[in-house]
């Protein structure tokens, strides 16, 4: 059951800010929101590269580095579903460096079943994506009831013709050829932002690779909906940075299709999200057909960065 749901409760949040929130994770209590390590595993292991000559503000537009904590609850289940409840938390952090973007997703989820004991699933998924779109590092660890059962690690190189190659070091002997024009998580987010205010371009269709599992690239269809007042939808508390929530926001509907499985025309899952032009996702509902999950924002703050990208 858990093995078949790796792409589910796995990639939902990653895809939307990195619209790719690669859903694989770990629990960070609210009190620990400010005590997150300053570098992801993928970021810290990436090779040093020459700095850009522009500042992060000019490179990333309205996007703001931030940390967010979400409460995850199951809101519905199909008749006959073996899953009777899912609950937990997800911590997410996005921040830029001079030559790349890094993300961390950490989940702690409890799965309850109708005819078997509950299971505690924790995971930690990190990415490092170069700003030129040519290089991508990813790593994840998943544990069941405290015991590690899966570890993924790999790298993507984009070729001169726009295609690419994803090669895993864990597990060994696993690789995927990526088609011309494929996007990485942050590229996908920026593509959404580039059309979000253009009423004549409501659709974005891309082939995405994010490294969150061993299933390869996926096709993502995104529909840009109407502007929304996120503040009116979200109960405000002292743990939420209101200045981030006041950024313009849109409803976005996305459907995710397995690119390598040509036998089905139905999506793996679909997602509704309130997506702000500063990169914050303030609300998310994910439909996995067998059940639906709500991801509620409960804590949000800016991540402080101090970069001198003009240095040689």
Task: Please write the tens of the pLDDT for every residue from 204-258.
Answer: 999 999 999 999 999 999 999 999 999 888 887 899 999 999 999 999 999 999 8
For residue 119, give both structure tokens.
Answer: 């299971």
Which pLDDT band, with edges at 50, 70 and 90, does 175 fall under?
Answer: very high
List Cβ neighbours of 249 (8 Å cut-off, separation of 6 or more). Answer: 227, 228, 229, 230, 274, 275, 276, 277, 282
Cα(294)–Cα(303) distance, rounded to whole angstroms?
A: 25
For residue 254, give both structure tokens.
Answer: 């996305």
Does residue 289 contact residue 81 with C-beta atoms inside 8 Å?
no
Mean pLDDT is highest, among 192-206, 213-227, 297-311, for 213-227
List Cβ neighbours of 253 (8 Å cut-off, separation of 6 or more). Answer: 222, 223, 225, 270, 271, 272
For residue 174, give both structure tokens.
Answer: 């696993």
Cα(151)–Cα(37) distance, rounded to whole angstroms?
A: 20
Over the range 210-243, which residues count as b (16 or more CB within 10 Å of their CB) and which as e?
bbbbebbbbbbebebbeebebeeebeeeeebbee
Which tens digit of pLDDT belongs to each residue from 129-161?
999 999 999 999 999 999 999 999 999 999 999
Cα(213)–Cα(150) distance, rounded to whole angstroms?
A: 10
Would you give the end-to-end CA distance of the chain in angstroms? 51
Cα(304)–Cα(311) distance, rounded to whole angstroms?
A: 19
Does residue 298 contact residue 71 with C-beta atoms inside 8 Å?
yes
Mean pLDDT of the chain: 82
Better-predicted residue by pLDDT, 35 or 206: 206
Closest C-alpha to 184, from 258, 134, 223: 134
What pLDDT, on a 0 to 100 scale, did the predictor assign at position 311?
56
For residue 230, give both structure tokens.
Answer: 């996120």
Average pLDDT over residues 50-54: 45
Pairing of strands 203-208, 218-228: antiparallel
Average pLDDT over residues 86-112: 96
């Amino acid at each position: 059951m858990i093995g078949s749901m790796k792409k589910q409760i796995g990639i939902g949040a990653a895809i939307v800010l990195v619209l790719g929130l690669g859903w694989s994770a770990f629990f960070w209590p609210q009190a620990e929101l400010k005590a997150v390590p300053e570098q992801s595993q993928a970021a810290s292991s990436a090779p040093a590269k020459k700095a850009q000559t522009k500042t992060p503000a000019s490179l990333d537009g309205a996007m703001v580095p931030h940390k967010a904590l979400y409460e995850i609850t199951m809101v519905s289940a199909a008749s006959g579903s073996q899953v009777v409840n899912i609950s937990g938390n997800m911590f997410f952090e996005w921040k830029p460096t001079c030559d790349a973007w890094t993300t961390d997703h950490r989940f702690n989820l409890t799965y309850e079943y109708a005819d078997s004991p509950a299971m505690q699933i924790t995971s930690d998924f990190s990415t490092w994506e170069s700003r030129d779109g040519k290089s991508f590092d990813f790593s994840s660890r998943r544990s069941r009831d405290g015991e590690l059962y899966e570890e993924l690690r790999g790298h993507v190189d984009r070729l001169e013709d726009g295609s690419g190659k994803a090669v895993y070091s864990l597990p060994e002997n696993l690789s995927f050829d990526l088609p011309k024009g494929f996007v990485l998580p942050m590229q996908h987010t920026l593509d959404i932002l580039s059309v979000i205010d253009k009423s004549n371009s409501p659709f974005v269709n891309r082939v995405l690779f994010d490294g969150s599992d061993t299933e390869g690239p996926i096709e993502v269809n995104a529909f840009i909906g109407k502007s929304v007042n996120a503040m009116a939808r979200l109960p405000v508390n002292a743990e939420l940075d209101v200045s981030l929530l006041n950024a313009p926001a849109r409803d976005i509907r996305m459907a995710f299709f397995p690119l390598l499985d040509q036998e089905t025309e139905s999506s793996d899952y679909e997602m509704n999200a309130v997506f702000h032009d500063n990169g914050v996702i303030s609300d998310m509902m994910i439909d996995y057909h067998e059940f639906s999950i709500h991801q509620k924002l409960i804590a949000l703050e800016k991540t402080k960065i101090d970069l001198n990208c003009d240095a040689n």
